Amino acid sequence: MRQLADIELILQQLVAEHHKLLKHVEMQQEAMKKFSLDKMDDATNLQEATRLRIATLENRRRAIAMQIAKAMRLNGDLTIKKLAEMFPQRAPVLLQHREDLRNIIEKIQTRTHVAGRLAGAVLGHLNTVVRLVSGAVERAGVYNKNGVPQVSKRIGVMEAVG
């Protein structure tokens, strides 16, 4: 069945695109560690392009699965597991692609969770700096002998996060 071969090819492409996405996420994390805005922006653009290719491949996979289900007169979603049961001669290949895809997606989820935590921490620090600066600018008349505005030595947690 030609559609089954198409699904296998799309699954291979999905695995390859997810590997690219993982590489881009790692590149973004390195840029975040070095606070390199240009590299963070580049990594973000690469990730977005990869996500669009993944979405396109996923739409193609679903369309082909619907064609197979219609040809076989099946109702509901046709999963890779169901395809493997229907075509036992192709089951090892299909299930291997499914496993590869699950593993790489799990790695991406772990990395993006770490990146989100890092971004949140950086944002918290930047928020504190902005509040300190804006607090210093908003106060009128309290300057030391060097012309530097005096601000409180410590900012509380509630003031830092707004």
Mean pLDDT, consecutive 10-residue stretches, the chain (162 aa), reads 92 97 93 88 94 96 91 86 92 95 94 78 76 65 64 54 50
Q: Which of 4, 161, 24, 2 is nearest to 78 (CA)?
A: 4
In this prediction, residue 125 carries a pLDDT of 74
CATH of domain 2-115: 1.20.58
In this prediction, residue 137 carries a pLDDT of 61
In this prediction, residue 119 carries a pLDDT of 72
Could you give the 3-state DSSP secondary structure of residue 86? helix
In this prediction, residue 114 carries a pLDDT of 75
Residue for token digits 């997606």?
Answer: 105
In this prediction, residue 60 carries a pLDDT of 95
Is residue 15 within a helix (H) or strand (E), and if so which, with residue range? helix 2-34
First to last CA, the chain: 60
Tokens at 15, concatenated = 């695995």
In this prediction, residue 155 carries a pLDDT of 54
Q: Write down the domain spans for the chain.
A: 2-115
In this prediction, residue 98 carries a pLDDT of 95
Whole-model pTM: value is 0.71
In this prediction, residue 56 carries a pLDDT of 97
In this prediction, residue 74 carries a pLDDT of 86
b/e per residue, 46-81, with b = 16+ CB within 10 A? Answer: bbeebeeebeebeebbeebbeebbeeeeeeeebebe
In this prediction, residue 62 carries a pLDDT of 92
In this prediction, residue 140 carries a pLDDT of 55
In this prediction, residue 89 carries a pLDDT of 95
Tokens at 119, concatenated = 């971004």
Could you give the 3-state DSSP secondary structure of residue 12? helix
In this prediction, residue 43 carries a pLDDT of 92
